[in-house]
């Protein structure tokens, strides 16, 4: 059969035009707000209410050391795990990955905290395995710690929730204290689960700021990294709930992969079609690229919710933008090793250790910029390592 190229190209084009027409109608609806009721899979009203309330609770502990503060802790006894010689006790850490600047910053802080504790003789050897975002790798990493038999405490930062649950249970069954932080697992066998308030609070901080700062009827564009990651989905679900109750018009959301070029291109295209007054982001990666799209289009800066990443905060300061930096407390990386040292000393720890999670607002901007003046641009302002040995070189020379 011989088909002229023109015919095929024409057919392809026709299909394109037709698909454009057929997909047009429902998408317009979606863009007009039908997409503002959160996906049930990712929205838990009770948890949402809890997290929003936790933002207003004063945490227990010294405000100068937020990494040791806890919101409404239920203290649990750890006497059974007390070590005769904590200075010789091996602490093992199974890390999901160091694949983004947030995790890199946190891991440096953790290593410095370990050094401090080792100098004080509160923990011994610190053994780390990095699973590079691979669930299977992390499961075998944890198994290896259990099999080695000489870990006296196991710290786990799970790569995903459901898949890692059995591995965490295995670690618990081996009889050593297990500490889980950052993302959660579906079990409560660990001694303590350490995390900041959570994704709903993060998304709500950002969305509420836009609702407060923008006139009713203003347009908001949401930039999301990826679908299907619980911490990110919760942020978006919270934002949807809040935008739904507001007078703001949400233009839609875009998945960017956190890639600056993609963000800049997508924002530029939205600007071609009409004004964008506000930007909501589920994480601050590439926020500066988004702002540059406004510069290059010759349009005024939007009201924006970024993150406490320094490149964004510096841009915020330089250009005097109306902005907020929601925070997913990076200092939480200190807490697990501190918790390990407390457990090895037989001290009580909270069974669920909820760390404070305060966004950085305009009035605190200068303070945080000065404190992080020497830090690289992909560093997180609330890293909380200023009092650790190796500050600032450990973070500046990464």
Partner 1 sequence: MTAPASPTPSAPPPAPGADGRRRPPLGALSSMPRGGTATVALILLLIFVVIATQNPSFFEGPPLMGFAKKAAPLVILAVGQYLVIVSGEFDLSVGSLVGAQVVIAARLIDGDEAMTWPVLALMVAFGLVVGLVNGLVTTLLRVPSIITTLGTMLVLFGAVRFWTGGAPTGALSEAFRVPGRDGIENVPFLHQIPWALLIAAAVVVGGVLVMRSPYGRTLMATGDNDTAAAFSGVRVWSVRTLAFMASSLLATLAAVLIGGYAGVTAQVGQGLEFTAITAVVLGGVVLGGGRGTVLAAALGALTVEALFTLFNQLYLPSTIQPAAQGLIIIAAVAYASRRGELRLPGRPRRRPDHPTEHTLGSSRR
Torsion, CA 38, CA 44, CA 46, CA 52, rounded to 10: -60
The residues pairing with 355 across neighbouring beta strands, listed in sequence order, are 196
Min CB(66)–partner 1 separation in Å: 24
Residues interacting with partner 1, by CB under 8 A?
2, 4-6, 8-10, 12-13, 16-17, 20, 23-24, 27-28, 30-31, 97-101, 103-104, 107-108, 226-227, 252, 254-266, 268-269, 272-273, 285-286, 288-289, 292, 296-297, 311, 376-378, 398
Torsion, CA 294, CA 299, CA 305, CA 311, rounded to 10: 40
Measured distance CA(334)–CA(234) in Å, rounded: 24
Measured distance CA(17)–CA(351) in Å, rounded: 58
When the beta carbons of 3 and 40 are compared against partner 1, the nearer one is 3
Measured distance CA(389)–CA(115) in Å, rounded: 8
Min CB(99)–partner 1 separation in Å: 6
CA 277 to each of CA 66, 225, 270, 301: distance values in angstroms, whole numbers, following the listed order: 34, 20, 11, 8
Measured distance CA(351)–CA(336) in Å, rounded: 12
Contact (Cβ atoms closer than 8 angstroms) between residue 124 and residue 187 = no
Min CB(264)–partner 1 separation in Å: 4
When the beta carbons of 37 and 269 are compared against partner 1, the nearer one is 269
When the beta carbons of 47 and 265 are compared against partner 1, the nearer one is 265
When the beta carbons of 24 and 56 are compared against partner 1, the nearer one is 24
When the beta carbons of 345 and 378 are compared against partner 1, the nearer one is 378
Min CB(71)–partner 1 separation in Å: 29
Q: Which of 241, 255, 254, 231 is nearest to 208 (CA)?
A: 241
Min CB(97)–partner 1 separation in Å: 7
Min CB(12)–partner 1 separation in Å: 6
Min CB(38)–partner 1 separation in Å: 17
Measured distance CA(33)–CA(126) in Å, rounded: 50
Min CB(268)–partner 1 separation in Å: 5
When the beta carbons of 104 and 144 are compared against partner 1, the nearer one is 104
Contact (Cβ atoms closer than 8 angstroms) between residue 352 and residue 78 = no
When the beta carbons of 101 and 184 are compared against partner 1, the nearer one is 101
Measured distance CA(222)–CA(240) in Å, rounded: 10
Contact (Cβ atoms closer than 8 angstroms) between residue 298 and residue 327 = no
When the beta carbons of 233 and 358 are compared against partner 1, the nearer one is 233
């Amino acid at each position: 059969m011989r088909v002229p190229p023109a015919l095929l190209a024409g057919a392809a084009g026709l299909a394109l035009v037709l698909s454009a027409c057929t997909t047009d109608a429902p998408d317009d609806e979606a863009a007009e707000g039908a997409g503002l009721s959160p996906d049930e899979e990712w929205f838990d009203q009770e948890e949402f209410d809890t997290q929003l309330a936790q933002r207003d609770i004063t945490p227990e502990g010294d405000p100068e050391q937020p990494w040791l503060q806890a919101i409404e802790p239920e203290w649990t006894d750890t006497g059974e795990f007390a070590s005769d010689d904590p200075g010789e006790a091996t602490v093992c850490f199974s890390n999901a990955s160091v694949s983004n600047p947030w995790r890199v910053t946190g891991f440096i802080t953790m290593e410095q905290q370990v050094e401090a504790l080792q100098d004080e003789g509160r923990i011994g050897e610190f053994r780390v395995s990095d699973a590079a975002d691979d669930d299977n790798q992390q499961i075998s990493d944890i198994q290896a710690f259990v099999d080695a038999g000489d870990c006296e405490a196991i710290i786990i930062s799970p790569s995903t929730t459901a898949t890692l649950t059995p591995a965490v249970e295995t670690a618990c069954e081996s009889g050593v204290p297990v500490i889980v932080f950052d993302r959660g697992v579906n079990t409560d066998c660990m001694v303590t689960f350490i995390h900041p308030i959570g994704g709903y609070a993060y998304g709500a901080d950002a969305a509420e700021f836009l609702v407060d700062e923008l006139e009713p009827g203003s347009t908001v564009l949401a930039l999301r990294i990826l679908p299907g990651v619980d911490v990110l989905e919760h942020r978006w679900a919270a934002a949807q709930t809040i935008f739904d109750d507001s007078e703001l018009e949400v233009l839609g959301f875009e998945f960017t992969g956190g890639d600056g070029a993609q963000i800049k291109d997508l924002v530029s295209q939205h600007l071609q079609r009409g004004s964008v007054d506000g930007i909501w982001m589920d994480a601050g990666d590439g926020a500066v690229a988004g702002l540059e799209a406004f510069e290059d289009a010759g349009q005024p800066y939007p009201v924006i919710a970024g993150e406490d990443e320094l490149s964004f905060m510096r841009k915020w300061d330089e250009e005097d933008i109306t902005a907020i930096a929601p925070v997913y407390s990076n200092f939480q990386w200190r807490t697990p090793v501190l918790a390990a040292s407390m457990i090895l000393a037989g001290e009580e720890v909270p069974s669920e250790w909820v760390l404070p999670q305060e966004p950085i607002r305009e009035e605190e901007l200068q303070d945080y910029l000065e404190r992080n003046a020497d830090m690289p641009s992909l560093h997180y302002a609330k890293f909380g390592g200023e009092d650790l040995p190796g500050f600032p070189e450990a973070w500046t020379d990464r």
